[in-house]
A and B are shown apart, each in its own frame.
Chain A
């Protein structure tokens, strides 16, 4: 069929999104590299969570012990993301307008479990490489 090359062209175009760097993967990559404290190449769940609580203190600009909406907003905008009230509300379980350390910890990002393919609680270099 004389039109076939065009259809093949359309299929080849589906590779296009792969050429564009998605923001989520980029962020997760930076986060994971920083999380490897002892730089042994492997990240334990403990390392991951302790890095996450270090991030909490970094985002808590006024050292009040809680994250406010403006702090959360700034953190997102530094990462090139728009603020969404829903994302904040999801973490702020008791809806008091502040994210407490407990709320922060109760909301672990699913990225660890997603990357930890064999569910041994460790991210090996090969599992880490799945994030560019």
Chain B
């Protein structure tokens, strides 16, 4: 008897084709802005604003050079008097009657983003895991109310508390410090982490810890050896969500950072700056900014496939 051909639940070839083309169409639409950003990053400033838009163009590193350097305009005579240009960026700058004056702030801003995003993700996930374990395994007084309270911190847009936080941070000397930003993003993310992870930890049967405790481990050791590895999937998923929020956060970063601790999101738009709108530089900054979060997600993607406990639970 043929099972697949007449199965009621198995989708037919035509349904599959329709579903497939819908997914591909959606993927293309979603990808288009990203593709445009990558293309713009490789254009020269005139190409980037030409109309009609250029699909085919000669790629140039001008956007990346403008992103990483500051330049000053000079007279043609002065430029001619200089020794031959040493690097690609110097050559590109001189073609525009400019010389490279020094590195831009992009690298330190990018580094700030890395430190703050990874730092806050680490703390949010660490605190979230422990709190979720506590809520999941112990009879916490008023547990439901506490969990609701934790969730309620996410019910308004974070920016609604921007002014109180701005004033608090100014008083406490936390404005424009990496520590202050890590603290803030951790606070925002920890509620999400607790809720997500509680769901994952609830699904890990207590029998495993009980078995470990009988086998001669303390609760904390059982937590580390038995619960954490099995919660890896949930921890990875939570980390990605926290990371994406902290990496992309713009409003608080604009408000609370200006120099020392400024992250990349508020920095990238101000590249537009002097002497015309330098779209290729902005696009280059954005393209590079996308890389870590994509890599991070791809690395943890394996853990997102919930294969780890599948099949071990016999019911």
Q: Do A and B come from one complex?
A: no
Instruction: Using CB atoms and an 8 Å cutoff, list the residues of chain B in contact with chain A.
Output: none
Instruction: Using CB atoms and an 8 Å cutoff, list the residues of chain A in contact with chain B.
Output: none
